[in-house]
Amino acid sequence: MKITGMGSLAAASSHSLNLPDDKMPGVEVLNPYNRVPVSLIIDDSTCLVNMAHFGIPQFAEVFPDQYKQNWRKLPREIPDRFVREFGEWCLENGVKGKYSVVPYPACTGWLSRFIPGWTKRELEESLDLIREVIVPNWDIHPEMVSHTRVIDIKTGKPYPFATPEYMENWEWSQTKSADELAAYQVYALTILKEAGLNCEGLTTPGGYGGRNQNNLAISTMEALRNVYGTEIPHYFRDLFTEKGKSVAPKVLHPSDLDGTDPKCVVSILGCTGDWFGGWDGLVPGNVDNFITENLSSGRMVDVIESREPAIMVCHWPGIYFNGDKVGYNILKQVKKRLDQKYDNLIWMKLSEIARYWAAKELTSITVQKNKLTFKAPFSTPGFSVKLDTSVRNTGIKGKGEEKPLVRIKDNKALKNGSWYSDKTGTVFCFDLEKGTNELIIN
């Protein structure tokens, strides 16, 4: 973020600036609503198909020494009654995040057409259920086309070679150009669009694009803009569990920020391992890895205390855990403990986090003695900034007339159109509009 003073350009950190010579206030861009974003990434989910049951034998064909579990004992289906139970609990408790919908799950069938082993009506009801109880709180992502074999997008058939070079999880994606990856991702997104699902992001299956990340970022932006016209595409590829390792979203490849069609893509980073139940539903997880019973430690505590987005990662077969719901119950415990310890969290979809970070990183701010001017390539709700000085009154002006901000007495009640002041400074919260915004301070 570029921050300048009137008639003076100062070296600054990415989010704050003090200009003592000009006696102008320092400004810092805060988290949305001055809260810490929390989210949950769900991988390996789709309609009906248990990806572990159908995927493991395909992985075992490529690496027979590594996949020896008896996949036949795993349920072939994760039933819609569980999807409803999970989705309704999340709606009631405000849990949000990302939910993968693999378009051609483990090569079993097409979500936009049919899946052998289930009736057309069952598939349609499963898609309707996702729209009803998942879409309101979750971004929908493809996890590429099959999450197993690479599909020949000219024929729609899986390549016949059971080698790492023709598996989505491993080598195929590592040497492809941005255009080649984009074409493959367009293929995946198009299936979900035909199935009536909207996407603003995508998730990489396994190691997909791990050694080809620049092309992955560019291809994600191209594919989502091509299929859905997405303004701020995002993707999930990496997670970091090391204490002290930053997990702030990365805003990549910004361009045309002063034009009518600004562009960027956001890499969303997870902060935990799958400590719920694993991708294969075989090894139960442990709630203490997220936050301990005494609420004093755990990875979520580390990240929340750093005020970076605390985004957990799980796999759908482990949330269901063969019908025992081990991962689901761990999630409930994590939510309960987080609520006991914190009152400054905000659950957000990945697209909401991506939008806020794009605005946070790419909005330029000009500091004047009685005014802050924000030039924003992207809009976002809950845009929050702090001045290191007190004010008497304030208002925000975007495309329309100036609107006063309402002073509040409790910083925890911060919402759009409000401000709060104490001895450390003043915090403002408002809807940032695309274009020029002026914060008037007196």
Q: Are residues 378 and 345 in the same domain?
A: no
Write down the pLDDT at residue 10. 29
Residue 359 in any domain: the answer is no
Between 199 and 17, where is the model more confident? 199
Write down the pLDDT at residue 17. 35
Q: Are residues 57 and 10 in the same domain?
A: no
Residue 45 φ then ψ, to 5°: -100, 155
Q: Are residues 391 and 320 in the same domain?
A: no
pLDDT band of 20, cuts 50, 70, 90:
very low
For the chain, how many structural domains are there in total?
A: 2
Q: Are residues 243 and 129 in the same domain?
A: yes
Q: Are residues 123 and 170 in the same domain?
A: yes
Alpha-carbon gap, residue 342 to 336, rounded angstroms = 10
Residue 419 φ then ψ, to 5°: -150, 160
Residue 358 in any domain: the answer is no
Alpha-carbon gap, residue 248 to 238, rounded angstroms = 12
The residue assigned the tokens 């759908």 is 316
Write down the pLDDT at residue 332. 98
Residue 138 in any domain: the answer is yes
Can you give the CATH number for the domain in which 213 is found? 3.20.20
Q: Are residues 279 and 396 in the same domain?
A: no
Phi-psi region of 97 (alpha: psi -120 to 50; beta: other; left: phi over 0): left
**pLDDT of 29 higher than 50:** yes
Write down the pLDDT at residue 136. 98
Alpha-carbon gap, residue 338 to 152, rounded angstroms = 45
Q: Are residues 143 and 270 in the same domain?
A: yes
* 184: CB partners within 8 A, 6+ apart: 144, 145, 151, 153, 173, 176
Average pLDDT in the 263-272 region? Answer: 98
Residue 263 in any domain: the answer is yes
Q: Are residues 84 and 192 in the same domain?
A: yes
CB distance 262 to 378 below 8 Å: yes
Q: Are residues 368 and 341 in the same domain?
A: no
pTM: 0.94
Residue 399 in any domain: the answer is yes
The residue assigned the tokens 């990945």 is 350
Distance of CA 243 to the CA centre of its chain: 20
Alpha-carbon gap, residue 135 to 131, rounded angstroms = 5
Residue 19 φ then ψ, to 5°: -125, 75
CB distance 50 to 76 below 8 Å: yes
> Which of 6-15, 19-28, 202-211, 422-431 comes out lowest in average pLDDT?
6-15
CB distance 401 to 440 below 8 Å: no
For residue 400, the enclosing domain spans 3-30+364-441
Arithmetic mean of pLDDT over the chain? 93
Q: Are residues 152 and 232 in the same domain?
A: yes
Q: Are residues 417 and 277 in the same domain?
A: no
Q: Are residues 247 and 332 in the same domain?
A: yes
Residue 387 in any domain: the answer is yes
Strand pairing report for 234-239 and 97-100: unpaired
Positive or negative torsion for Cα 272, 254, 139, 97: positive
Can you give the CATH number for the domain in which 11 is found? 2.60.40
pLDDT digits 0-9 by tens, 56-94: 999 999 999 999 999 999 999 999 999 999 999 999 999
pLDDT digits 0-9 by tens, 341-383: 999 999 999 999 999 999 999 999 999 888 999 999 999 999 9
